[in-house]
Chain A
Amino acid sequence: MAAPTAPGTRAGGGAGRAGRPVPSVASPRRRTSDVLVTAVLVVVAVCFAVPLLWLLLAAVDPGATLQLRLPDEPGLDNFAAVLTPETTLRPLLNSLVLCLSAAAITVVVATLAAYPLSRYQLRYGRPFLYTVLFATGLPLTAVMVPVYSLFARLDLVDTRYGTVLFLAATSLPIAVWLLKSFMDGVPVELEEAAWTDGASAMQSLRSVVAPLMLPGMLVVGIFTFITAWGNFFVPFVLLLSEDKLPAAVTIYQFFGQYGAAAYGQLAAYSLLYTLPVVVLYLVVSRWLGGAFTLGGGVKG
């Protein structure tokens, strides 16, 4: 606040247009409000970071408490304690099997369904799409009670394939919706050559459309995987035997048994469980931020 009366405050505080004199439209006031806004943003950032910092620090602190503190003697003891087959490895493997299967089924089934919806003028195409869109909004939690009783009738409770099919079904609406609009972006002209050569619709889907949509299919697959990986309620209700439970459920049991004492181990387990999701998010965001464009064949 050296000279608020100066006609042209040089933007010394870092605001863009360095050098050029800025018109004096309330610029000193603008500068103080900039500082204020930045201060508020920093406070918000700290509030969001502090709870997570506890998780990161407690995991490497063998004597962790519930308070945020720097470890006296940082070490990997907590990880060593939980990295046993029964505690983390088998549950994480179970999660991997469940989520990979669900993601694969979702992508294949949704791509197949997207093709006629995108390419043919179906009499019931629009109502079907509206229903699918409607289904994306329904609260999944509310379906779990009837799903459990349906599973009990069909003898599907505590089966892996039943849980996988249900997880796939719940992510289908949004997947069909996304893949249909991705497919709309792939020009039909590219397929016409294949048809002229006598390819069937399914052949041209596989050899022309699918390769162009691969990035979109992968993104849908990754998001299905992430959603399924974080889902606690579905496997909590549908799976019972210890050896089938995914990490989402066993980490809850761990919290119930040891959560009141072994904070460091709970934090270490949480990090192990969170890591795959973080990696996948980074992969997707790097990708979406970069050269992710749909229908890449259009320009070439």
Chain B
Amino acid sequence: MSVVERAGGPPPAPTAGDAPAPRPPRRRPASRWLVPLAPAVVLLGVFFAGPVVWSVLLSFTDASLTGSAARGTSFVGLDNFVTLVQDPAVWNAVVITVVFVVGSAVIGQNGLGLALALMLRGRGTAVRSLVTLPVMAAYVVPEIVAAFVWYAFLNPEGTLNTALGGLGLPGQSWLFTVPVLAVVLANIWRGTAFSMLIYLAALSQVPADVDEQAQVDGASGWTRLRYVTIPMIRRAIGTNLVLVTLQTLQVFTLIFVMTAGGPGDKSETLPLLMYEQAFQYAALGYGTAIALVLLAIGAVFSLGYIRAIGKEEI
């Protein structure tokens, strides 16, 4: 997006006499900025900030959907968090969430996206469209449809087992035997296009003559990749890693439809555990405490995201 230079500089005051002075210039009536800003502030406050603050408060209570605690909610201090730390289900979910994020986002989407973008450099239009069409299609399809498609693909009677059978290899019930691998693969399939697009854009900014110069100097393909190309797209890599991590951290629908966290709790990530506690076991307070853990992890990555992007663009 080409944003005209003005974006960075101090926005000029609209009225003619407002010279930039160290002291605040002639006072503008607050209504001039407050009125247009108000609807956004109210919406964000009520439906975004409100629930986050509310969740902090709620996590210190025994709020519940049903039972005695549903009528009178009482303050229970750090009880939810003590339970949380001692709960093996939470640790199980943390481990699976980390495996899911590292496997499908950091290694899978990010790695495959970068590899595809690098391999697509300098290919003809035919090869480019052949690859980008199915990769983009997987990205455009709604999450729940992607889940159906992979449910069918990995089913014991599905396409994968048929194909393996054709090669003389034994099939299995993938969603039961390796549920985490199944959802990792599905999420790589679904999200790689995003990373690929980021890297295609970043690579198109790398001036070709630098690479050619290195080639003339006798650097091999790998050396050029390692010491020329990758350092030049370092920022894109950082940004992409943070973004795909944030997106993958909150994946719910894909796993919910494919395995529902099962069998047992073998593929239960934090969002699924949160849902189970809050809505199936009706423990809103405890579910909220788990949500807070997720929010906190997200907040850390989001701060990293601001550091990576914000400084230059505001």
A residues whose Cβ falls under 8 Å from a Cβ of B: 14, 16, 25, 33, 37-38, 40-42, 44-45, 47-52, 54-55, 58, 65-68, 105, 108-110, 112-113, 115-122, 126, 129-130, 132-150, 165-166, 168-170, 172-173, 176, 181-182, 184-185, 187-188, 191-192, 195, 201-202, 205, 229-230, 232-233, 237, 248, 251-252, 255, 259, 263, 266-267, 270, 273-274, 277-278, 281, 293-295, 298
Contact = CB atoms under 8 A, between A and B. Distances in A.
B37 interface: yes
B54 interface: yes
Contact of B11 (A119, A137, A165): A119
Contacts of B302: 134, 136-138
Given A68-B162, A146-B55, A298 B4 contact: yes
Interface string B261-275: 000000000010011
B252 interface: yes
22 contacts: A41-B120, A45-B135, A48-B134, A51-B150, A51-B152, A55-B152, A109-B39, A110-B40, A113-B40, A117-B37, A118-B11, A120-B11, A120-B13, A121-B11, A136-B302, A138-B298, A141-B252, A148-B278, A165-B47, A173-B48, A185-B4, A185-B7
Interface stretch (B78-86, B88-96, B137-145, B198-206): B137-145
Contacts of B17: none
B43 A169 contact: yes
Interface stretch (B103-111, B176-184, B225-233, B284-292): B284-292
B44 A169 contact: yes
A145 B120 contact: no
Given A67-B162, A181-B1, A184-B7, A137 B131 contact: no
B306 interface: yes
B131 A44 contact: yes
B47 A170 contact: yes
A248 B295 contact: no
A251 B112 CA distance: 31
B294 interface: yes
Contact of A112 (B37, B257, B294): B37
Interface string B10-38: 11111100000000000010001100110
Contacts of B60: none
Contact of B148 (A65, A140, A165, A266): A266
Given A52-B141, A184-B11, A281-B140, 4 more contacts: A51-B138, A112-B36, A132-B44, A188-B14
A50 B120 CA distance: 20
B119 A143 contact: no
Contact of B145 (A33, A55, A65): A55
Interface string B47-90: 11011101100100001000000000000000000000000000
B127 A38 contact: yes
Contact of A48 (B189, B279, B291): B189
Given A109-B43, A184-B6, A142 B134 contact: no
Interface string B165-199: 00000000000000000000000010010000000
B11 A170 contact: no
Nearest to B253: A232
A266 B119 CA distance: 36
Contacts of A232: 142-144, 252-253
Contacts of B11: 118-121, 184, 188
B306 A135 contact: no
B305 A145 contact: no
A255 B148 contact: yes
A54 B43 contact: no
